[in-house]
Amino acid sequence: MSDAVRIIEVGPRDGLQNEKIPISVADRIAFIEALIGAGLHTVEVGAFVSPKAIPQMVGSDQVLRGVSHIGGSEFHVLVPNEKGYEASQAAGAKVIAVFASASEGFSRANINCSVAESIERFKPVVARAKADGIRVRGYISCVLGCPFDGEVKPQAVVDVAKMLWDLGCYEVSLGDTIGVGTPMKARQLLRAVAGSVPMEKLAMHFHDTYGQALANLYAGMEEGARVIDSAAGGLGGCPYAPGATGNVATEDVIYMLEGLGMKTGVDMTKLLAATNEVRRLIGRPPVSRVASALNAKMRTAK
Ligand code: HMG
Ligand code: MG
């Protein structure tokens, strides 16, 4: 496989939004800076959503203002509506992400509106972003299955992807929110969506609930996809997606990519240190296989 892969580190947002223990703004900033220091260029750092819906993301404005830009790093934040957009701009966001669903059940649970209504909500957000020179990423959840509606047809994903792309999103991230996908389905989905959005503009956002995320990523890469969302330590999940566990772990992705001969620019030792620090914050070990293996190796070597 050739070509560079671009990684969007989503741990500080997708990871921490699902944690029971509140993590202070200072600790969130330190985590993000450790990730950037490890060589991860793009990090999703927070969300301008309702504090009642996701209390863990309160203080995202302070996180965004407080975090140091090192080496041209890029910070993303989630924005569900115009209120969130205004707050994101007051905090200086340069890249935002709107988030839709391929299924009605999850759309209602997560953002309290239908899929069509969510697109209507995003229209003024994207229009204002365009006028302000802000880049907008588009997420689609439940692309390979929904905790409420069950099976999700690829066509439903294609339809939403096309809407987000036509709105002006620069990239569309396909979220297997509950991690139910398998490689053949991931491959077929990417092929189907690439008929409406160029493959190089598609990101793979795979949760690892059933342990399939790396295999699904590999299948997607064989189709030509080159953008991966991952979370340090395999943190992650959505409080509105019952049964969902973490994102594919960044360490596991880096290990696989480097093994494929791809240069990621990520320093595994520093990434492991960042992941281990989060273990202290959340009070349990990371689920990443590579982090566990490297920690065990270090213990044996002592
Ligand atoms: P709603 O209740 O329909 O909104 O929520 P509303 O407009 O009726 O407002 C209700 C209250 O929320 C009001 O406050 C608003 O001011 C406030 P009150 O008068 O009751 O005090 N409000 C806000 N406050 C702060 N920031 C805002 C905002 N908007 C309204 N932007 C809403 C609709 C979308 C706001 C709500 O449902 C929400 O915030 N949902 C976010 C849920 C979320 O963040 N989920 C996790 C991220 S998505 C994810 O994890 C999936 C992903 O990783 C991909 C994948 O894995 O699939 C991206
Ligand atoms: Mg997610």
CA distance 236 to 162: 27
Residues serving a catalytic function are 238
Mean pLDDT value of segment 198-214: 97
Mean pLDDT value of segment 92-119: 98
Residues 6 or more apart from 17 whose CB is under 8 A from it?
47, 54, 56, 57, 237, 238, 239
Residues 6 or more apart from 272 whose CB is under 8 A from it?
251, 291, 294, 295
| Ligand 1 binding pocket mutation candidate from 49, 177, 235 (most atoms within 8 A of CB) | 49
Residue 93: strand pairing partners: none
Ligand 1, atom nearest to 101 Cα: 57
Residues with CB under 6 A from ligand 1: 14, 17, 47-50, 53-54, 78, 80-81, 83-84, 87, 99, 110-112, 139, 141, 175, 177, 205, 207, 238, 240
| pLDDT, mean over the chain | 96
| Ligand 1 binding pocket mutation candidate from 16, 50, 125 (most atoms within 8 A of CB) | 50
Using the predicted structure, report yes or no on whether residue 2 has a pLDDT greater than 70: no
Q: How many CA atoms lie within 13 A of 290 on its CB side?
A: 23
The predicted structure's pLDDT at residue 50 = 98
pLDDT in tens, 21-53: 889 999 999 999 999 999 999 999 999 999 999
Ion ligand 2: residues, CB < 5 A? 14
- Atom 40, ligand 1: residue with shortest CA distance: 111
- Name which residue leads in pLDDT, 282 or 139: 139
Ligand 1, atom nearest to 113 Cα: 3
* CATH topology assigned to domain 6-301: TIM Barrel (3.20.20)
- Atom 36, ligand 1: residue with shortest CA distance: 111
Distance 298 CA to ligand 2 centre (A): 31
CA distance 76 to 256: 25
Of all ligands present, the nearest one to the C-alpha of 48 is 1
pLDDT in tens, 239-270: 899 888 999 999 999 999 999 999 999 999 99
Provide the residue count of the chain. Answer: 302
Amino acid, res. 232:
A
Using the predicted structure, report yes or no on whether residue 163 has a pLDDT greater than 80: yes
